[in-house]
Amino acid sequence: MEVVVPWSELQSLVEPHYPKAGNGRRPVGLAIMLRTYFMQQWF
């Protein structure tokens, strides 16, 4: 998984659109969410 996907490039593309911590519930870290999403799609 680490070899196949360029995580740093993906994070830099998604980060401007990913929710920031505010008044509500804190969002899960972007790196964790990206990896979780990819795992869901692969399986």
Looking at residue 27, its pLDDT comes to 87
Looking at residue 25, its pLDDT comes to 86
Q: Where are the domains of the chain?
A: 7-42
In what helix (H) or strand (E) does residue 42 lie, and over which residues does it extend? helix 30-42
Amino acid, res. 42? W
For the stretch 1-38, pLDDT in tens is 888 899 999 999 999 999 888 878 888 999 999 999 99
Rounded to whole angstroms, the Cα distance separating 21 from 9 reads 22
Q: At CA 19, angle to CA 14 and CA 12, rounded to 5?
A: 20
Looking at residue 8, its pLDDT comes to 92
Cβ atoms of 31 and 7 closer than 8 Å = yes
pTM for the full predicted model? 0.75
**19 conformational bin, left if phi > 0, alpha if psi -120 to 50, beta if neither:** beta
